């Protein structure tokens, strides 16, 4: 198989839609192939292909924090004396984990997965793609009071050169999985490709079986957890390779961040609740991990 350049495309952080130039030939591209911008390190799994409209959809969201636009105090609604509101944020797609909405009394923040939580007991939901917001305030919002949103939206990266990888090649390292990938077959394929690559490049692939709380070391490649326990990650700044964690049993395995690191934008921990559930974690920067999960 090969990696090949086939023209230019446009992508927006926070979206899974990639648009290609009108002369692009996508007829030979299938789901499961990997896409990236040529000048970036990260590949993303392709979930579907539309050659007619010259588009592909990734299995997860495209991410590039250099193309985030901060929007401050956008008025998305105003109070009518009630507690429940349906409104919409303008600049989409919205970057998960960056949303703050307030009426000046209660502040809602998002968890990176579409759930809004108010600091006074209210709650709500948000669609990062459409910008639709539903809010239930704990206290009634005074009539004509502005309800404002502060958030980051994705800025389009237009007509950059891209690469599509159609299979394994020793000339390219297998990079991280795309954010919020949920298809089990894609995650398993990536996990085994990572193991295969490491077996080719190292004298020994370290597989660790743990039955009690454990702190990850630099030597760990695959951790098999057996029992209800917590695995504390190595700091992202100290780790140079991916980590695979597998839940052997049916107990809950908690994956805890190191220090002030974050996982998937703003989470402090993950859990694997199903037997044989797999999480692949990739250090992204000095204080971030990204993960993909299959159950």
Q: Are residues 18 and 33 in the same domain?
A: yes
Assign 198 a pLDDT band (cuts: 50, 70, 90): low
Least confident of 19-23, 69-73, 214-218, 263-267: 263-267
Confidence at residue 49, expressed as pLDDT on a 0 to 100 scale: 94
Confidence at residue 171, expressed as pLDDT on a 0 to 100 scale: 39
Q: Left if phi > 0, otherwise alpha if psi is -120 to 50, otherwise beta: which for 24? A: beta
Question: Contact 13/95 with Cβ under 8 angstroms?
Answer: yes
Q: Are residues 220 and 284 in the same domain?
A: yes
Q: Are residues 37 and 75 in the same domain?
A: no
Model-level pTM?
0.58
Average pLDDT, rounded, for the chain: 85
Final residue belonging to a domain, choices 134, 154, 174? 154
Distant-in-sequence contacts of 169-172, Cβ < 8 A, 24+ apart = 169/1, 169/2, 169/3, 170/200, 171/3, 172/3
Instruction: Give domain status of residue 175, yes or no.
Output: no
Q: Please check the confidence at residue 8 and state whether its pLDDT lies above 80.
A: yes
Instruction: Give domain status of residue 177, yes or no.
Output: no
Q: Are residues 15 and 161 in the same domain?
A: yes
Question: How many structural domains compose the chain?
Answer: 3
Final residue belonging to a domain, choices 165, 193, 222? 165
What's the pLDDT tens digit per position in 11-49? 999 999 999 988 888 988 888 788 989 888 788 888 899
Instruction: Give domain status of residue 173, yes or no.
Output: no
What's the pLDDT tens digit per position in 44-88? 888 899 999 999 999 888 989 899 999 999 999 999 999 999 999
Q: Are residues 190 and 211 in the same domain?
A: yes
CA distance 175 to 23: 29
CATH of the domain at 252: 2.60.120
Q: Are residues 248 and 204 in the same domain?
A: yes
Percent of the chain at pLDDT exceeding 70: 83
Structural domain boundaries, residue 15: 3-65+156-165
Q: Please check the confidence at residue 179 and state whether its pLDDT lies above 70.
A: no
Confidence at residue 172, expressed as pLDDT on a 0 to 100 scale: 41
Q: Please check the confidence at residue 205 and state whether its pLDDT lies above 80.
A: no
Largest CA distance in the chain: 69
Instruction: Give domain status of residue 146, yes or no.
Output: yes
Q: Are residues 148 and 289 in the same domain?
A: no
Instruction: Give domain status of residue 36, yes or no.
Output: yes
Q: Are residues 33 and 161 in the same domain?
A: yes
What's the pLDDT tens digit per position in 119-160? 999 999 999 999 999 999 999 999 999 999 999 999 999 999
Q: Are residues 161 and 41 in the same domain?
A: yes
Question: Integer distance in angstroms from the first to the last C-alpha of the chain?
Answer: 29
Instruction: Give domain status of residue 178, yes or no.
Output: no
Q: Are residues 208 and 130 in the same domain?
A: no
Q: Are residues 18 and 161 in the same domain?
A: yes
Confidence at residue 175, expressed as pLDDT on a 0 to 100 scale: 43
Strand order in the sheet with 253-256: 214-215, 229-232, 253-256, 269-272
Q: Are residues 106 and 42 in the same domain?
A: no
Q: Is 131 helix (H, G, I), strand (E, B) or coil?
A: coil
């Amino acid at each position: 198989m090969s990696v090949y350049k086939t023209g230019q495309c446009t992508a927006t952080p926070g979206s899974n839609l990639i648009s290609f130039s009108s002369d692009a030939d996508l007829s030979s591209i299938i789901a499961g192939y990997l896409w990236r911008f040529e000048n970036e390190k990260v590949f993303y799994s392709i979930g579907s292909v539309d050659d007619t409209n010259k588009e592909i959809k990734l299995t997860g969201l495209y991410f590039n924090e250099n193309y985030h636009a901060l929007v401050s105090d956008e008025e998305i609604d105003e109070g009518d004396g009630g507690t429940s509101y349906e409104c919409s944020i303008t600049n989409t797609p919205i970057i998960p984990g960056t949303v703050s909405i307030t009426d000046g009394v209660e502040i809602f923040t998002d968890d990176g997965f579409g759930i809004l939580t108010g600091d006074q007991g209210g709650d709500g939901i948000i669609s990062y793609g459409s910008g639709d917001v539903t809010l239930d305030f704990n206290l009634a919002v005074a009539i004509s009071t502005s309800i404002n949103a502060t958030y980051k939206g994705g800025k389009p990266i237009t007509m950059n050169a891209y690469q599509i990888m159609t299979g394994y090649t020793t000339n390219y390292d297998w990079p991280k999985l795309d954010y919020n990938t949920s298809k089990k077959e894609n995650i398993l394929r990536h996990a085994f490709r990572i193991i295969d690559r490491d077996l080719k490049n190292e004298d020994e692939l370290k597989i660790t079986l743990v039955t009690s709380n454990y702190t990850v070391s630099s030597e760990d490649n695959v951790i098999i957890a057996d029992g209800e326990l917590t695995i504390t990650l190595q700091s992202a700044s100290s780790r140079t390779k991916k980590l695979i964690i597998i839940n052997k049993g049916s107990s809950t395995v908690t994956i805890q961040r190191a220090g002030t690191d974050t996982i998937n934008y703003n989470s402090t921990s993950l859990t694997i609740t199903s037997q044989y559930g797999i999480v692949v974690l990739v250090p992204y920067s000095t204080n971030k991990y990204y993960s993909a999960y299959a159950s």
